[in-house]
Amino acid sequence: MTRPLADELLDRLVRAFTAARDPERAERAAAYMRDQFAFLGLSAPTQRTLARGVLAGLPAPTEEELRTVVLACWDLAEREYQYFACDWLRRHVAVPGPEFLATARTLITVRSWWDTVDPLATRFVGGLVRRHPRLSAEMDAWSAEENLWLVRTAILHQLNYGAETDTDRLFGYCTRQAGHRDFFVRKAIGWALRQYARTDADAVRHYLARHGDALSPLSVREASKHL
């Protein structure tokens, strides 16, 4: 009888990552992240190499297998498992349907910090919304949420859309959260505007001319870096 994909993958992952742990590097990584999370101490290149071995020979996952694995990774103590989950979701963004956004919301609002929220926002949620445009209405709702990580995700989800960016939404979200007091939201506004300026600098200049006084100095500074 064939072993379920999720069980096989998770078993391989835990064995491979645990065997490669580096306690000294783990201590430094935890300190860098303000001791919010435990780490195995795996460098990014090491994680990529190990992940290739873990995934070798395994078939593409179904939506339910994606959900099972990423939620299991979120339940594991060490942060590298969440990094694996983010990378795996990015790799298989074409698999899930629109209902998977509820799972993404869980990942964004549990064990939240920029190191997982940003890749989820820019590489997975953005791709999910692009494939299922009706999810844009959910981004509208997230842009007004009290949870700062959902707000950050809404602002950043179009980061890689380029000319396909819905500017009404981008600028609207930035204006809606212009007075937000949290650093991560203010930074997201500046980052999103700066990135879109690579596509249409004049549109960003015009937006800043009209709304710059309402934005935080951090947001304006970030948005203006390449103008």
Domains and CATH numbers, the chain: 1-96 (1.25.10.90), 97-227 (1.25.10.90)
Residue the block writes with tokens 């999910």 = 128
Q: What is the DSSP letter of 58?
A: P
pLDDT of residue 1: 47
Segment 66-80 shows an average pLDDT of 98
Mean pLDDT for all residues in the chain: 97
pTM of the predicted model, to two decimals? 0.96
**2 pLDDT tier (thresholds 50, 70, 90):** low
How far is it, in rounded angstroms, from Cα 185 to Cα 82? Answer: 22
How far is it, in rounded angstroms, from Cα 118 to Cα 160? Answer: 12
pLDDT, one tens digit per residue, over 37-68 is 999 999 999 999 999 999 999 999 999 999 99
